[in-house]
């Protein structure tokens, strides 16, 4: 009996070995068949780069790679950043069996996916729509798109025919996420694509936002289309579907003012000069909006964007999701509570002066590193502080700011809107009679000339 069992086992063993050999052979055949199939496309995200079709199991990027097995950046002689790209910077590794692509970082200066550093000798599993940067998180080079998923792209065809949209989320506004994108036929032009779920707008309506979801989206698009000012975000296009709306605007690489305030908080806030430099530009934008009958209604640090990472740079007012025209009385409970004016808390009719109050609170925050009204004791206490105009200040920080600046803030934060500055009045105030404002004016005018097809160059 034992001999029979041994005989049976002996007979079965070769079958198992043959099966393993067959399986291995089959896998090799599959891998071989897939090796020359285009599994992904690298869309260029910078000038002078070329579209790349990925089909091999390994593909390198660098300054000195085999052209049959990679893409050579050595031709980018005009780009200063080219010198920091490693000879063999990173490598795409394809697992044809699992259908997975990994990006291996082999550089000294860094490879980034959606703004996050992979790290030398580390790998990152790529997803359809990932944005790849080299050396610097904002030096976007390629957008990774898998061929089998392009037809099922979550963005509408009308949008993707004109723009390449990545997975990289750079912000979350009142109504949706904001992604980095590029113009498909002008890859050197970066854009921001705001994706707005219509059901989310319905939830926001519960907070007394005026109108139905389609009306709110159309209102933002209409306002954006009408706004043409160097200190306001530039609108490019809008696309609509049954469940989503997509608003394409210019891309502002310097990020939010909120992030910069958070970094400076340990120093007790910005210098008065820097605060004045930013504030003058924001008042300039508000003066333009108010003159054209538009109330922003959600001025806060998160909605002020910085053009560059430089300290002294152009600023832009963004996110018009809660904006409205003053064609009728406004009574909606809109905005961020610690920046809301007394008349909004009391549900009274209000106008442009709510933006002045919010900017006054923002200037206070920039100068002192904390908000003028405390949120530590609940909404009721916050409401009482705002209705009474009772500022929260620490003597040591308060006294290091000039009397002129303190008086300016008080004028912005007057409880009675009739006694509050208008944007035009604020711009002519003594606090802005300063050389730093001349520098701000120069930067704005220079920027306006650069893109004069969009903005008239005029002094205010």
Superfamily, domain 257-450: Transferase(Phosphotransferase) domain 1 (1.10.510.10)
Higher-scoring residue by pLDDT: 243, 374: 243
pLDDT at 93: 97
Q: Give, as one character, the DSSP assignment of residue 84.
A: G
Neighbour tally for 5: CB within 10 Å: 9
Tell me: pLDDT of 426 over 60. yes
Rounded Cα gap, residues 89 and 347, in angstroms: 58
DSSP codes of every residue in 1-20 = -HHHHHHHHHHHHHHHHHHH
Among 267, 431, 440, CA closest to 360 = 431
Q: What tokens appear for 282 in the block?
A: 């924001």
Residue labelled with tokens 């139905």 = 212
Q: Which residues are annotated as a binding site for ATP?
A: 199
pLDDT at 380: 64
Rounded Cα gap, residues 191 and 252, in angstroms: 8
Tens digit of pLDDT for each residue in 211-260?
A: 556 666 676 677 778 889 999 999 888 888 888 889 899 999 899 999 99
Q: What tokens appear for 399 in the block?
A: 């006294």
Helices (H), 131-265: 147-150, 157-160, 198-205, 213-226, 257-264
| CATH class of segment(s) 157-250 | alpha beta
Q: Read off the pLDDT of each residue in 53-82 and give the average, rounded to a whole number.
A: 77
Higher-scoring residue by pLDDT: 303, 66: 303
Domain with residues 40-150, CATH architecture: Sandwich (2.60)
Higher-scoring residue by pLDDT: 112, 385: 112
Do 319 and 298 meet the contact criterion of CB atoms below 8 Å apart?
Answer: yes
3-state secondary structure of 245: strand
Among 132, 145, 138, CA closest to 41 = 145
Q: 319 catalytic, yes or no? A: no
3-state secondary structure of 297: coil
pLDDT at 183: 92
Among 50, 29, 33, CA closest to 41 = 50
3-state secondary structure of 197: strand
Higher-scoring residue by pLDDT: 306, 150: 306
Tens digit of pLDDT for each residue in 387-416?
A: 888 887 766 777 789 999 999 999 999 999
Q: Which residues contact 14 (CB under 8 A, 6 or more apart)?
A: none
Q: Read off the pLDDT of each residue in 118-126 and give the average, rounded to a whole number.
A: 97
Axis-axis angle for helices 257-264, 353-368 (nearest 10): 30
Task: Give how far the C-alpha of residue 134 lies from the chain's centroid of Cα atoms, to the nearest Å.
Answer: 19
pLDDT at 328: 39
Axis-axis angle for helices 353-368, 272-291 (nearest 10): 170
**Same fold: 157-250 with 257-450:** no
pLDDT at 121: 96
pLDDT at 208: 45
pLDDT at 179: 94
Task: Give how far the C-alpha of residue 369 lies from the chain's centroid of Cα atoms, to the nearest Å.
Answer: 23
Tens digit of pLDDT for each residue in 135-182?
A: 999 889 999 999 988 767 788 889 999 999 999 998 876 567 899 999
Mean residue pLDDT across the chain = 82
Tens digit of pLDDT for each residue in 71-95?
A: 877 655 455 556 788 889 999 999 9
Strands 315-317 and 304-306, by their bridges, are antiparallel
Tell me: pLDDT of 45 over 70. yes
105, 298, 319, 355: the catalytic one is 298
Q: Could you state, in order of their start, the residue ranges of all structural domains in the chain? A: 40-150, 157-250, 257-450
Tell me: pLDDT of 10 over 60. no
């Amino acid at each position: 009996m034992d001999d029979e069992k041994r005989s049976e086992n002996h007979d079965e063993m070769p079958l198992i070995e043959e099966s393993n050999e067959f399986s291995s052979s089959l896998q090799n055949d599959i891998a071989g068949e897939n090796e020359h199939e285009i599994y992904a496309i690298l869309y260029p995200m910078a000038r002078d780069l070329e579209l790349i079709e990925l089909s091999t199991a390994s593909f390198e990027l660098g300054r000195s790679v085999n052209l049959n097995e990679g893409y050579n950046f050595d031709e980018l002689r005009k780009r200063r950043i080219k010198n920091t790209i490693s000879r063999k910077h990173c490598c795409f590794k394809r697992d044809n069996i699992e259908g997975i692509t990994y990006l291996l970082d082999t550089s000294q200066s860094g490879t980034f996916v959606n703004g996050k550093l992979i790290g030398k000798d580390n790998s990152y599993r790529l997803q359809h729509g990932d944005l790849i940067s080299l050396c610097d998180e904002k030096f976007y080079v390629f957008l990774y798109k898998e061929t089998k998923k392009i037809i099922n792209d979550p963005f509408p065809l009308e949008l993707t025919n004109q723009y390449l949209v990545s997975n990289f989320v750079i912000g979350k506004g009142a109504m949706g996420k904001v992604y980095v994108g590029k113009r498909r036929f002008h890859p050197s032009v970066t854009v921001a694509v705001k994706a707005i779920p219509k059901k989310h707008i319905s939830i926001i309506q519960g907070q007394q936002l005026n109108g139905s979801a389609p009306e709110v989206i159309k209102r933002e698009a209409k306002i954006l289309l009408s706004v043409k000012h160097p200190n306001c975000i530039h609108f490019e296009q809008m696309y609509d579907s049954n469940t989503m709306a997509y608003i394409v605007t210019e891309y502002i690489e310097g990020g939010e003012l909120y992030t910069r305030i958070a970094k400076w908080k340990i120093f007790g806030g910005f210098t008065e000069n820097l605060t004045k430099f930013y504030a003058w530009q924001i008042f300039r934008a508000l003066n333009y909006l108010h003159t054209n009958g538009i109330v922003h209604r959600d001025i806060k640090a998160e909605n002020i964007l910085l053009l560059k990472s430089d300290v002294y740079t152009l600023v832009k007012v963004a996110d018009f999701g809660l904006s409205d025209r003053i064609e009728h009385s406004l009574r909606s409970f809109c905005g961020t509570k610690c920046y809301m004016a007394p008349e909004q808390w009391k549900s009274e009719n209000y106008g442009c002066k709510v933006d002045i109050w919010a900017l006054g609170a923002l200037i206070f925050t920039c100068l002192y590193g904390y908000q003028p009204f405390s949120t530590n004791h609940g909404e009721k206490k916050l409401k009482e502080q705002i209705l009474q105009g009772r500022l929260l200040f620490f003597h040591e920080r308060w006294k290091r700011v000039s009397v002129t600046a303190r008086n300016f803030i008080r004028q912005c934060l007057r409880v009675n809107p009739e006694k509050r500055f208008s944007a035009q009045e604020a711009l002519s105030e003594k606090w802005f009679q300063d050389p730093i404002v001349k520098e701000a004016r120069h930067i704005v005018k220079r920027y306006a000339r650069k893109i004069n097809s969009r903005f008239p160059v005029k002094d205010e």
